[in-house]
Every structure is written in structure tokens, then in C-alpha cells.
């Protein structure tokens, strides 16, 4: 064996050792504390429970659902619920930034804990880089417990563990739920960061669901399963001792104007006064088993299969709003088959100019020809430069010309699905996800009807000409504008798109 073959063999041996040792550092879960969501009887004896109880009794077996489309409403709902909490707050999130809204929500949790409220905070660990001192301080509060889902044992630099332990750390908890006193819950697509709550020039348009009634117990039970899962580690067993910062001061990054807008919104008062539009209907929580993060779930138990069971096959209309849309060959064929059976299929995703994930767009772009030839209508959200303007704030999950689409909302005939699930392989096979299937024709119709009323004003419609070339139609104030190449993109973006599409990584996106 010559010298370079010996060097190569040594490199592979080192890599093998690294791969085998990548997960060896995970601590034991023995004697981890146990806790459960507030019981129904105890929940009924809280301020929120007393608010919800007469409404729930008037609609047995149903859930009252309100779509949080406006990002200011979404932030106000969380802060108001935390302020109203008397017994418990259970929160899980994929991303929690230490910006203005993130710090203010941390402060809201602390104030609740100071009143004696038990707070359980479950964060996916992929996006907590640099937060160890803060999380350690939060976890030190006697009434707050922080757990990290599928944690990195090498806290910094994390890139090394991604290289050496990819099969494990590539699986993430994408769920987002916020439940107070087991009486009111919020779930959906929003992470905790300024761009999700309309507090920055970069806005991710999204949608959450505020729900009360029967489904809240299901959300709490799901949280308990994740909390006690084999992927949830007490923060103090992961974060090195001695790393602790004082609690952050007031979130001064939020403008007075923003705080005034939030302060003027009170969803609990709206519920109390009957001013909140609630659709009372049967609602089903569809959620991955947390064992998916360990690769221990059969295909039939993945969230996509559960969604299919909950809504059935589309009969007349399927409207998909997905920030990251990678249909794959099987998905593209399934959508085209629906069109053949007479189902009207429309998809809204990000344009190349609007996306924050160029690789995802390239993986989607390769299927545009097949989908359009098969009769699927495609719309791609525009991207402009006026930031979080007032017109943009009210655009909700249907987008505007100044934002990036982040919503994951699907209308199937008379059913609506809202949650964290993207129509891509990562959501199907790797990440854990959560969604609410709402059997409410009124809400489903709003999403179906949004295309002719709103989407077509803020998205390009993608079409094929007679020669099989793609073009994009933009509806402007002066009429329809045709683009014969990806709109509002640079030369290099267009050059790299087909290059990216050749990479064999669709299953990881």
C-alpha cells in the first residue's frame, strides 16, 4: 500500500471513530424530573378555565378556532396569555431568538414564574447557539424548567458535530405550541423572533391558530409526550456549569410604536366580549410521535399519513400554501393525478426572489414543468423592498410584495390544516411536526377564495408557453406584466439554480 493510500485509510479510520463517538457524549436521562399538564378539573379553576368553560360546554366535543393571521395579533396573544396564566405554561419551539420579541416573551415567562406559575420550556437545540448562559439563567428559576430537544453535546463549534453525528442531529423538533393553564393554546408555523411578529423590516408572513375547547387537552398530552421523550434533556445536563448570565433587561429593541400596537390588542377580552370570530367545529390534532427524532417510527405513523387519514382524498379543491414546497416525483405525480380526477389544485410557494432557502427553491423548480403540464396551477410569492409596511402586516399567510412566505396552510375541500408541516421531504421524514385539522367549511373557504381575491395580487403565476418555456405573470397597477425569466433575480442566482438542482440532497431539504 503506497503512502497516499495509507493516508486515505487513516482518514477514513478517523472519520469512523468520529462517527461512532458523535453521540457518545449524551448524558443519562436517569432520575429526570417528571411532570404532567394541568388536569381538566384544575384547569377549570383558573381564570382562563372559567372564561373558556361556558363556551366549551355550549359546543361539546368541538373546539373554538381563531386564525392568527396578523403578526401583531400573534405576538399579543402570547403575551396576554402569559400574563393571564395562573398555574401552568407549556411552550415548545423550533427557534427562539434573543431579539426584541424573543426577550420580551422570556420576560413574560419569568413574570409568570415569579407569580408561582410552573413554566416548562422545550426548545429544539439546533438554533440555540450562543444562548447557553441565558438558558442557564432561565432554567435556574425555581418555577421554570428548560429542556433541549435532540441536543448538541459539543456546544461550540457545532459544525463539527454536524459532520460527525449527522444522522442524529439532522432530525429536529419543528413543532411550535404555546399552551396556558390547559385552557387556551396557540400552534402553527411561527417561531419566536422579530421577523415572525412584524417587528422588523424583514417579515415572514405566517399563520397560527388560537384554539380552546376539546383540542387543548390533546395539545397538552402531546407536549407531555415530547417532554418525557428520549430526546428531551434537562438543560443543566447539557449546558456546562458556570455559564449563566443575568436575566435580560427590558427589550428596548422594540419601538414604542410597536409596543403600543401590541398593548392595544387583547384577544382574551375579545373572547370574553364575544368579539373574536371563533369557528366551533371538530378539530383533530395531528402530530408526529417524538420517537421520529430517533428514527423509530414506521412510515404509516408519519404525519403525512396521519394527515391523509384525517382529511381523506381531495374531491373538488386542494389549495396548498407552503413556504418550502418540494413535491418530489411521487408528490408531483399524486398532484397531477388529482387534476386528472377533476380536483382543482393550486399551490402558493416562494419565488426565487422571496425565498430564504435557495437550495429548497432549486429542488422545487425542477418539478414546475411536470406540475404545469399536468394542470396544477403554481403561484410564487413576490418579494419587494418596503419592509413590514402596514399593508404587508395585514396580508397574512397570502403574502404581499414585501415579505417572505413562511406559512404552512392547506385547504382540502371543506377542511383546513394549519401547523408546522411543510410540503417537503424534511417535514415528512426527518423533522417532527404538528398540525391542526379543522373541519370548518367557513375557514377552508377563506383559504380557497384567497387566490382570486388576494394571492394573484401579490404573487406571480407561473405558466408554460407553447414551446414549453416557463414565464411568470405579474398583476400590477398598470396591468399584467410578463416575465420570461425568474423575476427580480440576479444573473448569478439564475446561473446557480440549475446547478443546485443537480445536487442529490432533496431528501435532506
Strand order in the sheet with 470-476: 283-287, 434-438, 415-419, 408-412, 317-322, 344-350, 377-381, 459-464, 470-476, 479-483
Active site residue 366: no
HSE-up of residue 91 (Cα within 13 Å, Cβ side) = 25
User: Of 354, 362, 344, nearest to 323 (Cα)?
Assistant: 354
What is the number of helices (H) and of strands (E) in the chain? 20, 21
- DSSP state at residue 430: I
Residue 344 DSSP SS3: strand
Contact 317/410 with Cβ under 8 angstroms?
A: no
Task: Say if strands 415-419 and 434-438 run parallel, antiparallel, or are unpaired.
Answer: antiparallel
C-alpha cell read off for 448? 380557497
Burial 227-256 (b: 16+ CB within 10 A, else e): bbbebbbbbbebbeeeebeeebeebebbee
Contact partners, residue 127, CB within 8 Å, separation at least 6: 94, 95, 96
**Catalytic position from the list 66, 174, 261, 361:** 174
Active site residue 181: yes
**Catalytic position from the list 361, 408, 439, 446:** 408
Peptide bond into 157 cis (omega under 30): yes
**Catalytic position from the list 181, 208, 217, 289:** 181
Contact 434/307 with Cβ under 8 angstroms?
A: no
DSSP 93-157: ES-B-SSHHHHHHHHHHHHHHHTT-EEEEEEEGGG-TT-HHHHHHHHTSTTEEEEEES--SS-SS
Active site residue 413: yes
DSSP 346-398: EEEEE-TTT-S-HHHHHHHHTTHHHHHHTT-EEEEE---SS-S-HHHHTTGGG
**Catalytic position from the list 208, 413, 424, 506:** 413
Active site residue 408: yes
Give me Rg for the CA atoms of the chain: 23
**Catalytic position from the list 292, 406, 415, 448:** 406
**Catalytic position from the list 66, 176, 366, 439:** 176
In terms of Cβ atoms closer than 10 Å to its own Cβ (0-12, 13-18, 19+), residue 106 is buried
Active site residues: 174, 176, 181, 406, 408, 413
Amino acid at each position: 500500500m503506497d503512502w497516499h493510500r495509507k493516508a486515505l485509510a487513516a482518514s477514513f479510520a478517523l472519520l469512523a471513530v468520529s462517527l461512532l463517538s458523535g453521540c457518545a457524549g449524551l448524558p443519562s436521562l436517569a432520575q429526570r424530573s417528571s411532570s404532567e399538564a394541568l388536569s381538566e378539573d384544575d384547569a377549570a379553576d383558573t381564570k382562563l378555565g372559567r372564561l373558556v368553560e361556558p363556551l366549551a360546554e355550549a359546543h361539546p366535543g368541538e373546539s373554538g378556532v381563531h386564525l392568527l393571521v396578523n403578526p401583531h395579533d400573534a405576538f399579543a396573544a402570547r403575551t396576554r396569555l402569559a400574563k393571564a396564566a395562573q398555574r401552568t405554561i407549556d411552550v415548545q419551539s423550533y427557534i427562539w431568538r434573543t431579539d426584541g420579541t424573543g426577550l420580551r416573551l422570556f420576560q413574560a415567562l419569568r413574570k409568570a414564574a415569579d407569580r408561582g406559575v410552573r413554566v416548562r420550556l422545550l426548545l429544539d437545540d439546533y438554533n440555540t447557539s450562543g444562548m447557553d448562559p441565558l438558558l442557564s439563567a432561565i432554567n435556574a428559576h425555581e418555577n421554570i424548567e428548560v429542556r433541549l430537544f435532540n441536543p448538541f453535546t459539543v456546544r461550540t463549534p457545532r459544525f463539527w458535530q454536524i459532520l460527525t453525528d449527522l444522522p442524529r442531529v439532522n432530525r429536529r423538533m419543528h413543532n411550535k405550541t404555546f399552551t396556558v393553564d390547559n385552557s387556551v393554546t396557540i400552534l402553527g408555523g411561527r417561531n419566536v423572533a422579530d421577523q415572525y411578529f412584524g417587528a422588523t423590516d424583514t417579515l415572514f408572513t405566517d399563520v397560527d391558530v388560537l384554539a380552546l375547547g376539546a383540542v387543548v387537552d390533546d395539545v397538552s398530552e402531546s407536549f407531555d409526550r415530547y417532554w418525557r421523550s428520549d430526546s428531551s434533556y434537562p438543560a443543566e445536563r447539557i449546558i456546562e456549569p458556570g455559564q449563566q448570565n443575568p436575566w435580560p433587561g427590558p427589550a428596548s429593541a422594540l419601538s414604542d410604536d410597536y409596543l403600543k400596537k401590541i398593548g392595544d390588542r387583547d384577544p382574551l377580552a375579545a373572547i370574553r366580549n364575544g368579539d373574536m370570530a371563533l369557528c366551533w367545529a371538530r378539530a383533530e390534532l395531528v402530530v408526529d410521535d417524538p420517537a421520529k427524532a430517533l428514527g423509530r417510527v414506521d412510515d404509516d405513523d408519519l404525519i403525512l399519513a396521519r394527515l391523509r387519514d384525517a382529511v381523506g382524498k381531495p374531491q373538488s379543491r386542494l389549495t396548498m400554501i407552503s413556504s418550502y414546497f418540494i413535491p418530489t416525483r411521487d408528490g408531483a405525480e399524486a398532484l397531477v393525478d388529482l387534476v386528472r380526477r377533476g380536483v382543482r389544485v393550486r399551490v402558493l410557494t416562494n419565488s426565487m426572489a422571496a425565498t430564504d432557502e435557495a437550495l429548497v427553491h432549486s429542488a422545487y423548480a425542477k418539478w414546475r414543468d411536470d406540475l404545469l403540464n399536468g394542470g396544477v396551477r403554481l403561484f410564487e410569492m413576490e418579494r419587494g423592498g418596503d419592509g413590514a409596511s402596514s399593508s404587508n402586516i395585514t396580508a397574512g399567510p397570502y403574502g404581499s410584495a414585501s415579505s417572505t412566505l413562511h406559512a404552512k396552510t392547506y385547504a382540502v375541500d371543506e377542511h383546513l390544516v394549519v401547523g408546522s408541516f411543510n410540503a417537503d421531504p424534511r417535514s415528512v421524514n426527518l423533522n417532527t411536526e404538528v398540525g391542526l385539522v379543522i373541519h370548518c367549511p367557513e375557514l377552508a373557504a377563506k383559504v380557497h377564495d384567497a387566490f382570486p381575491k388576494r394571492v394573484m395580487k401579490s404573487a406571480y403565476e407561473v405558466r408554460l408557453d407553447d414551446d414549453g418555456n416557463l414565464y411568470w405573470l405579474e398583476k400590477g397597477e398598470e396591468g399584467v406584466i410578463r416575465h420570461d425569466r425568474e423575476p427580480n433575480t440576479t444573473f448569478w442566482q439564475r446561473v446557480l439554480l440549475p446547478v443546485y438542482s443537480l445536487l442529490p440532497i432533496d431528501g435532506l431539504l
